[in-house]
Amino acid sequence: REQRFSGAVQSSLFAAAFQIQAQCMRAALNHKIQSTGAVETKRLQVRLWKLQHSGISEWKIQPMHIHDEVMAPSKPELSESIESIVEGFVKERKTLIPLLKMDWKSRMKNWAEK
């Protein structure tokens, strides 16, 4: 059959609508994963902040949360304490999130080594 202008427009609109729907579904699934990761990393960040003295004092740790990632620049003497907190957190949370995994690097000279 010969394709007419109206049929071509209709096909294009259906294809565009299906792509928008697929994009929304991917975003919804990604949101569920990313938001869960964000909540868990915020919980870890709270535990790490406990290593920093409150009030006016020299900084020891400065945890920063970005989406589903935690960066925690700290004084070298805190590395073992931080690793212990992270390992304990992951072990505890694995009871609720079985596939939870967290890569942790310590003693980096700068963030580019991440």
How confident is the model over 48-97, as pLDDT tens digits? 999 998 888 899 999 988 877 888 889 989 989 999 999 999 999 988 88
**Residue burial 70-82, b: 16+ Cβ < 10 Å; e: rest:** bebebeeebeeeb
Q: Do the beta carbons of residue 43 and residue 89 sit within 8 Å? A: yes
Element at 69 (helix H, strand E): strand 69-71
The reported pLDDT for the residue numbered 92 is 93
Q: Do the beta carbons of residue 106 and residue 70 sit within 8 Å? A: no
Query: For the ranges 3-7, 24-28, 46-50, 109-113, which has the lowest average pLDDT?
Result: 109-113
pTM here is 0.66
Q: Do the beta carbons of residue 40 and residue 46 sit within 8 Å? A: no
In terms of pLDDT, which residue wins out, 80 or 106? 80
Distance between CA atoms of 36 and 22, rounded to whole angstroms? 22
Opening angle at CA 23, ends 20 and 26, nearest 5: 155
